[in-house]
């Protein structure tokens, strides 16, 4: 199926509800964000583009005939939204050219199934952590926390918290690698 056929303009199907769209968007949100992040030089721009992608995809959702194609379809929308976003900042010296963005976008689309497996493996591995370690990891990557505040809450030095997080990350990496290497 060509990229053009994924972005049809009109073909309303009333049975496709807002709920179905939201379920698919939520299910694939991490993949879409990763895809967009791979195409933008600044991670701060991901939220803005993600919001536009969500709005465009919501408006065009009735044109999607096969919901199993949602990830590919929404990444195609994301590619166009990234290009549109980048055009706003075309004079910036740090902006990649369109050909490079197209290459990154195509590579990101090809890697989506692998990224999905990696995220599932990571979720499984995080779930296997002890409650204390799981809570620490989730708190450490929350935008509302700093290592300083975590260290103070744990009555530990910042250095010891960094070391503990490094050990947990290594443990998670080994677990993910083991899960991915296991035959399915």
Residue ranges per structural domain of the chain: 1-111, 129-184
pLDDT for position 174: 93
pLDDT for position 13: 45
Question: CA-CA distance, 54 to 40, in Å (whole number)?
Answer: 17
CA distances from 5 to 20, 56, 169 (A): 21, 16, 42
User: Higher confidence at residue 48 or residue 109?
Assistant: 48
In this model, does residue 9 exceed pLDDT 60?
Answer: no
Do 115 and 31 form a contact (C-beta atoms < 8 A)?
A: yes
Predicted TM-score of the model (pTM): 0.47
Instruction: Tokens for 119, please give them.
Output: 């995220």
CATH code, residues 1-111: 1.10.1740
Question: CA-CA distance, 158 to 148, in Å (whole number)?
Answer: 6
- The dihedral through the CA atoms of 174, 175, 179, 182 has a sign that is positive
Mean pLDDT, rounded, for 113-117: 82
pLDDT for position 96: 66
Interval 143-173: pLDDT, tens: 788 889 888 988 999 899 899 999 999 999 9
Mean pLDDT, rounded, for 9-21: 59
Residue 65: closest CA among 23, 7, 133, 125: 7
């Amino acid at each position: 199926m060509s990229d053009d056929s994924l972005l049809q303009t009109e073909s309303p199907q009333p049975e496709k509800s807002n709920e179905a769209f939201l379920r698919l968007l939520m299910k694939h949100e991490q993949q879409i964000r990763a895809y967009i992040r791979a195409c933008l030089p600044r991670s701060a721009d991901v939220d803005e583009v993600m919001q536009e992608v969500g709005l465009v995809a919501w408006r065009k959702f009735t044109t999607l005939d096969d919901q199993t194609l949602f990830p590919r379809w929404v990444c195609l929308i994301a590619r166009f939204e990234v290009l549109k976003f980048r055009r706003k900042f075309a004079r910036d010296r740090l902006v990649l050219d369109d050909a490079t963005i197209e290459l990154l976008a195509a590579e990101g689309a090809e890697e989506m199934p692998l990224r999905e497996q990696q995220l599932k493996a990571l979720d499984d591995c995080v779930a296997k952590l002890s409650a204390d370690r799981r809570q620490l990891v989730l708190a450490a990557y929350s935008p509302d926390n700093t290592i300083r505040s975590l260290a103070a809450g744990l009555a530990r030095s910042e250095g010891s918290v960094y070391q503990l997080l490094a050990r947990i990350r290594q443990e998670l990496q080994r677990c993910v690698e083991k899960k991915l290497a296991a035959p399915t």
